[in-house]
Amino acid sequence: MNKTLKVLEILWLVMGIIGIVMCAYFITVKDNEGAIYFLVFTLACGLMYSIRKRQRKKHEAAQQQSKPISEKK
């Protein structure tokens, strides 16, 4: 499950970076109206990235808590 959460986290980060690149492209080459959609997309990706990161950290902390003392060493 940790791998799945990490992959989802990285996927949202990559999609956010793509959104930033597309927003910059639309601002420089095309119209500003088109860039607004990519800006909203980028903000949504950033929000999902932060949610997934927080979820993964909580999951890892819960796994550490549930391990027996002999396995923590």
Tens digit of each residue's pLDDT (9 = 90 or more) over 50-69: 988 888 888 888 888 877 66
pTM for the predicted model, two decimal places: 0.73
C-beta of residue 12 within 8 angstroms of C-beta of residue 55:
no
Find the DSSP H helices in 1-73: 2-28, 32-66, 69-72
Q: Could you list the mean pLDDT of each consecutive 10-residue stretch along the chain, which spans 73 residues?
A: 81 90 88 85 91 87 76 54
Q: Where are the domains of the chain?
A: 2-65
Q: In 10 A of CB 27, how many CB atoms?
A: 15
Measured between alpha carbons, how far is 5 from 51 in angstroms, rounded to an integer? 11
